[in-house]
């Protein structure tokens, strides 16, 4: 699949807007009115993409990365049906989840569908006493069960730990617990999940992410006469150079999942041109609307605000995606039972 000069090799998928958590910095918590109704993207849409629109495409090395902005794909009522369709086409799956409220039977069925080429990431920010502080309403017992069964499976597993003030003292304890559970890899992520300088979630300065520092710089200059002078959207879009494309629970193909958030008035005006439910996905990707969007990224004040907020950087400084990733994430392998496949990162 060719798209804006790139061969797309992965889809970032938010197949549902359902989630049982109330994370304090999440849009669904801050702006509950944005979730007008709970929605699951039908397995029929995945069948259309995989077996009709892309029936002639080689999808053996394509990754379907199930993550989310509003929802956790764990709670899609037909997620196993979707996963089976993807595996039937020979593609790979990565599921990122908070891991709460699923039974042993459910986890065992999941790991019977996934294979050694697939991956699961548990977003768990602390231990039993601290994870619930940011990830309000999470359930430690079921999370721990899911991680234990993941560790016993042949699926690549990661514990992703976002650093906050209340959990920064527990990193080593969490790493030891992950190793005990058989988790393949432990990942710490510097934080941007707080609201201002006085938020008690704000960690020590050494744990604040570079992307958050960029965001604070961009917000300082947005809507001023120095916007285009001080802000750059580099590298225009972070996801397309990574050969990624987004698929939302409403059936839209977009640059990234953040792009369809409540902040994006430009998308709201043009969203029918991104809708794949009634159009071939290849026709959507070839629509001239993408060239229009691509041109907007050259001038931050004309681009969608969401692109400034999440991908804006200080102008005239070398701040690319790789640098952000290297400074904001720290990966540690916990098991040597096989080499980690970097293609899955």
Asked whether residue 237 is assigned to any structural domain, the reply reads no
Asked whether residue 291 is assigned to any structural domain, the reply reads no
Range of the domain at 277: 2-206+242-286+328-344
Cα–Cα dist 295/64, whole Å = 28
Confirm if 123 and 162 have CB atoms less than 8 A apart: yes
Per residue in 65-96, pLDDT (tens digit) is 999 889 999 999 999 999 999 999 999 999 99
Q: Residue 55: give its domain's CATH number.
A: 3.20.20.70
Kindly indicate the confidence band of residue 319, based on its pLDDT and cuts at 50, 70 and 90: very low
Asked whether residue 189 is assigned to any structural domain, the reply reads yes
How would you class 79 by CB atoms within 10 Å of its CB: exposed for 0-12, middle for 13-18, buried for 19 or more? Answer: buried
Asked whether residue 153 is assigned to any structural domain, the reply reads yes
pTM of the shown model? 0.88
Kindly indicate the confidence band of residue 321, based on its pLDDT and cuts at 50, 70 and 90: very low
**Residue 323 neighbours by CB distance under 10 Å:** 13
Asked whether residue 235 is assigned to any structural domain, the reply reads no
Per residue in 84-133, pLDDT (tens digit) is 999 999 999 999 999 999 999 999 999 999 999 999 999 999 999 999 99
Q: Which of 129, 116, 119 is nearest to 169 (CA)?
A: 129
Asked whether residue 305 is assigned to any structural domain, the reply reads no
Asked whether residue 109 is assigned to any structural domain, the reply reads yes
Q: What share of the chain is helix, strand, coil (3-state, %, to 5)?
A: 40, 15, 45
Cα–Cα dist 124/144, whole Å = 10
Asked whether residue 218 is assigned to any structural domain, the reply reads no
Provide the domain count of the chain. Answer: 1
Per the model's pLDDT, the better-predicted residue between 235 and 287 turns out to be: 287
């Amino acid at each position: 699949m060719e798209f804006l000069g790139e061969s797309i090799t992965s889809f970032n998928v938010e197949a549902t807007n359902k989630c049982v958590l109330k994370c304090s910095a999440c849009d669904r918590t801050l702006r509950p009115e944005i979730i007008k109704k709970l929605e699951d993207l039908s397995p029929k849409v995945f069948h259309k993409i995989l077996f009709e629109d892309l029936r002639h495409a080689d999808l053996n090395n394509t990754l379907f990365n199930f993550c989310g902005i509003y929802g956790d794909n764990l709670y899609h009522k037909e997620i196993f049906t979707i996963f089976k369709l993807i595996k039937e086409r020979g593609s790979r799956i990565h599921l990122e989840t908070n891991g709460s409220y699923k039974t042993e039977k459910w986890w065992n069925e999941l790991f019977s569908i996934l294979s050694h080429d697939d991956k699961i990431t548990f977003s768990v920010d602390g231990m039993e006493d601290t994870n619930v502080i940011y990830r309000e309403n999470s359930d430690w017992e079921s999370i721990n069960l899911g991680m234990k069964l993941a560790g016993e499976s042949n699926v690549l597993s990661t514990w992703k730990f976002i650093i906050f003030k209340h959990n920064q003292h527990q990193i080593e304890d969490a790493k030891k617990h992950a190793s005990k559970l058989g988790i393949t890899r432990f990942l710490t992520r510097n934080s941007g999940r707080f609201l201002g300088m006085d938020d008690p979630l704000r960690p020590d300065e050494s744990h604040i992410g570079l992307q958050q520092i960029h965001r604070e710089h961009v917000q300082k200059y947005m809507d001023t006469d120095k916007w285009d002078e001080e802000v750059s959207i580099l590298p225009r879009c972070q996801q397309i150079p990574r050969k990624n494309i987004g698929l939302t629970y409403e059936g839209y193909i977009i640059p990234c999942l953040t792009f369809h958030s409540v902040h994006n008035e430009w998308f709201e005006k043009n969203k029918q041109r991104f809708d794949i439910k009634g159009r071939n996905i290849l026709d959507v990707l070839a629509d001239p609307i993408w060239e229009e969007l691509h041109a907007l990224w050259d001038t931050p004040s004309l681009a969608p605000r969401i692109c400034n907020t999440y991908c804006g950087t200080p102008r005239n400084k070398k701040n690319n995606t790789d640098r952000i990733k290297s400074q904001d994430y720290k990966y540690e392998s916990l098991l040597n039972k096989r080499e980690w496949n970097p293609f899955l990162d």
